[in-house]
Every structure is written in structure tokens, then in C-alpha cells.
Amino acid sequence: MTSPTLPAAALSAWSASASPSNAGDDAPPPTGASLFCAVCNDSARFVSSTQRANGGLRAYRRSSSGATWELAPGSIYLGIAVPAVHALASDATPANFLNRMVRPLLKALGPYAMYGGRDFVTLRTGARRDVRSPIAGIAFAHDVASGRALFEAVVGTNSPFEGAGRPSFRGAVPAPYAEHSAGELVARIVAAYRLPNQAIGWNSEAEEARVQSAFLVTKESEIGTIGALEEDEQAILGGDLQASEDALNAFANAPTAENLAPFQDGRAAILGLPDLAVLTSLIDSLKRRL
């Protein structure tokens, strides 16, 4: 069977419909999981829900948080929307959701694929398989109020999914994945998750992401740059971190112990910030600049 091949605008449209915070007519179903896997046929930046779109190369929005990915012809996009973090793995929690959801993807990528607990998958490459190259980006969206979650991934088959230099890579250089063809990889991914592929017959497309103001204050963290700004009288926290969106927004606008508690007691998840005091520091810095 021919793998679905779609433009970045179509991938963005599905991602928006699968957002855990989407309460519209196209919201994900209240039961069961939805999988969407396709080959991208054009080039664009895939900007996360926590990033700012700043012009340049055309950009489309995805619903998961974290770093911006680079889509190119041949990139593989995977999205899985679930009504609860434990829908596909009974022991999954917000904190280990990425770990549990990435396991079938690792199987599809082959025996040399590894996940080290961050926001990417590496592949052992080189003649002796002794070089670890990031070959896939992975990310999540999670809404504490509804319990819904979304897992998203991109694999660059002709070019890397992201440029080098982000602290999360710890010096490793992203590389294209060449173990299987794009079409074969889509088939392997769908088989690994054992879910029907909604990308077959998908024909909706999204508009390009609008240009946004940059973060007013930023800090470097072990995952990358995080930042804050005020927009429409609301404080916004974002950048390369991944977090449960409604909990992050609540804390940004009322940085109290009560609003930090969901990240500490397991109701909400945050990836890339072992020291949550950085969030308070960012908000304090923002207030001093306003």
C-alpha cells in the first residue's frame, strides 16, 4: 500500500484537531486512540505550542510543546492522540508518557534506535555503530483538566529533523535516518502501534503560523532556551521545554505554590527543567521588564 504523502499544512491541520485542549467539533474522540502517520512532501518549520513563530522560512504550528522541528520532503510525521495518558500503556503517567509512547516507534526504527529520556531518539551509526546521532524529535501535549494527551514525532529521512547545537543534544549532531525508505518506515510505524492510519484520505490543511513577538526574557536550560513575555495581558512561558499546557499557563499567570503543585505531585508533566525555580525566576524577570 502506498504511504500517505501530504504537505506540512495537512500535518498541522491534523495536529490542531488532535490537541488535548481542543473542545470543538473536530476534537479527538473521548475513547480510543487516533494515529496519523504520513510522509511530508514539502519544506517548513514545525513550530510547537510553546514556541514563537518569527518569520523566515514558512512555518506551521503543531500542538505538542518543545523545540521547533524542520520538515522536508521525505520527513515522517507521527501523531497519536489519546483520551488519557494510560490509554495505550496501562502504567503510563504524565511524567513517563513520552517514554511509554516512544517504545513502538523504537521498534519500527530498528535495533539501533535508542531513547535516552530527553526529547529525541538517537540511532547508533557509523561503521562500528559507535556514533549516536539524533534522528527523530519526539514531543507531547497534555491537558490536566481533560486528561487528554498527544504524542508527536518527526523523523528526517533525507535531512535532519533539527539543526545542531541545542543543549539537549549534548554535542551530538542530528543526522538523516537511512535504515528504511520513507514509505517502508510509515508501514513499520503503523504496524508497531497497531492502530488504523487516519492519514489515509486526509484532505484538511491549516494556514501558516502567524508571526509573533519574541520572548521578552529568556534563560538557557539543559534542554534549550526557555522564555517569557506578556501578550494580551497574559503572561506566557515557553521555549524548548515541554509541559502540560493548562498547568503551565496557570502558573505563568499566578506563580504560586498551589499552581506549581501539579508538576510536583504528578498531575502535570514538565520535561527539560529539573529545577522548577527557573520558572519563577523567569516570571520575576518578566515583571521587572514590564
User: Domain of 40: which CATH number?
Assistant: 3.30.930.10
pLDDT band of residue 59 (cuts 50, 70, 90) is very high
Instruction: Examine the domain organization and report whether 145 and 263 are in the same domain.
Output: no
Give the pLDDT confidence score for residue 9 in this predicted structure. 98
The DSSP annotation for 191-260 comes to: HHHT--BTTTT-----PPPPP-PPPSEEEE-SSSEEEEEEETTEEEEEES-EE-HHHHHHHHHS--HHHH
Instruction: Examine the domain organization and report whether 108 and 227 are in the same domain.
Output: no
Residue 69 has pLDDT above 90, yes or no: yes
Return phi, psi of residue 186, to 5°. Answer: -55, -45
Instruction: Examine the domain organization and report whether 180 and 259 are in the same domain.
Output: no
Instruction: Examine the domain organization and report whether 125 and 261 are in the same domain.
Output: no
The DSSP annotation for 164-190 comes to: S--GGGTT-------SS-HHHHHHHHH
The stretch 179-188 carries a mean pLDDT of 96
Q: How far apart are the C-alpha atoms of 204 and 273, rounded to whole Å?
A: 35
Look at residue 124 and tell me if it is in a domain.
yes
Average pLDDT of every residue of the chain: 94
Instruction: Examine the domain organization and report whether 54 and 96 are in the same domain.
Output: yes
Give the pLDDT confidence score for residue 1 in this predicted structure. 56
Look at residue 208 and tell me if it is in a domain.
no
Instruction: Examine the domain organization and report whether 142 and 188 are in the same domain.
Output: yes
228-272: per-residue pLDDT in tens?
Answer: 999 999 999 999 999 999 999 999 999 999 999 999 999 999 998
Instruction: Examine the domain organization and report whether 97 and 189 are in the same domain.
Output: yes
Q: Which residue has the higher pLDDT, 31 or 185?
A: 185
> Counting Cβ atoms within 10 Å, is residue 35 exposed (0-12), middle (13-18) or buried (19+)?
buried
The stretch 18-37 carries a mean pLDDT of 86
Q: How far apart are the C-alpha atoms of 239 and 282, rounded to whole Å?
A: 12
Instruction: Examine the domain organization and report whether 240 and 162 are in the same domain.
Output: no
pLDDT band of residue 82 (cuts 50, 70, 90) is very high
Give the pLDDT confidence score for residue 225 in this predicted structure. 95
The stretch 99-114 carries a mean pLDDT of 97
Of 193, 226, 258, which residue is a domain's last? Answer: 193
Give the largest CA-CA distance in the chain: 58
> Based on the structure, what is the number of domains in the chain?
2
Give the pLDDT confidence score for residue 55 in this predicted structure. 77
Tell me the residue range of the domain where 251 lies. Answer: 217-289
Look at residue 40 and tell me if it is in a domain.
yes
Look at residue 202 and tell me if it is in a domain.
no
Look at residue 198 and tell me if it is in a domain.
no
